[in-house]
Amino acid sequence: DTAVSQTPKYLVTQMGNDKSIKCEQNLGHDTMYWYKQDSKKFLKIMFSYNNKELIINETVPNRFSPKSPDKAHLNLHINSLELGDSAVYFCASSRGGSGYGYTFGSGTRLTVV
Amino acid sequence: GEDVEQSLFLSVREGDSSVINCTYTDSSSTYLYWYKQEPGAGLQLLTYIFSNMDMKQDQRLTVLLNKKDKHLSLRIADTQTGDSAIYFCAESINTDKLIFGTGTRLQVFP
């Protein structure tokens, strides 16, 4: 069974649209994250949630809004999509605290046209 | 500050050893990690080392940490074509977020 699953795997949409990416983990982890990987493969954290509470919010435009209905889910909603939002978005989870590492989802490739 | 640097490319012959290097700037790192990303896939944790250790060995993988120079390396012994991927080092600090390096693309040729 997939430990951290994201849907959809691919998403192609037009500028100005609103879209959501869903993430679910069945590992019982307390902390979930969203990372963005750009075309040069740079990975940067966007958000982290611990038990449904926002812990980290890096410098991300307000158009990005994470939502965590429970500790097993962390969804990412993006409003008014722009060309520069095209990237691969990775969800991850961890037990929290350094040393446990993360378990990553397989990524969602978002292409804005 | 938070900055993790790696060389972009490494090319090795099958059967040789690969050494991937990483430098970081934040001395308060608690753990340092190596992740592998194959094409079109997510990130797979390969190994990690606690900041008070100098070395960790796990089968074909050897991690060396020089905390004074803030230098981390990953040695892959007997490199195989299946090892071709992008390798990311990452550091975690107290805030429990991972700061990733720029990634090293390892190409293994026969």
- Please give the angle made by the CA atoms of B23, B87 and B42, to the nearest 5 degrees: 130
Q: How far apart are CA B86 and CA A69, in angstroms?
A: 34
- Burial (CB count within 10 angstroms: exposed 0-12, middle 13-18, buried 19+), residue B7: middle
A chain contacts of residue B8, beta-carbon cutoff 8 Å: none
B chain contacts of residue A44, beta-carbon cutoff 8 Å: 100
A69 touches chain B (CB under 8 A): no
* Closest residue on chain A to B91 (Cα): A98
**Least-confidence region, from A36-50, A71-85, A96-110, B72-86:** A96-110
Q: How far is A17 from chain B (nearest CA, A)?
A: 25
What is the model's pLDDT at position A97?
59
Structure confidence by residue, pLDDT tens digits, A42-65: 999 999 888 888 887 887 899 999
B28 touches chain A (CB under 8 A): no
Of residues B43, B93, B102, nearest to A90 (C-beta)? B43
Among candidate residues A16, A4, A8, A2, the one with its CA nearest the CA of residue A112: A16
Question: What are the CA-CA distances from residue A68 to residues A51, A73, A77 (Å)?
Answer: 8, 6, 11
Q: How far apart are CA A19 and CA B46, in angstroms?
A: 33
B chain contacts of residue A97, beta-carbon cutoff 8 Å: 96
Among candidate residues A40, A46, A4, the one with its CA nearest the CA of residue A22: A4
Tokens encoding B26 = 């934040």
pLDDT band at B36 (very low <50, low <70, confident <90, very high): very high
Fill in the DSSP letter of residue B78. Answer: S
| Interval A7-20 mean pLDDT | 97
What is the model's pLDDT at position B93?
73
What is the model's pLDDT at position B106?
97
The answer to whether A102 contacts B97, with C-beta atoms less than 8 Å apart, is: no
Tokens encoding B31 = 């753990």
Structure confidence by residue, pLDDT tens digits, B78-100: 999 999 999 999 988 765 678 89
Tokens encoding B74 = 């990953």
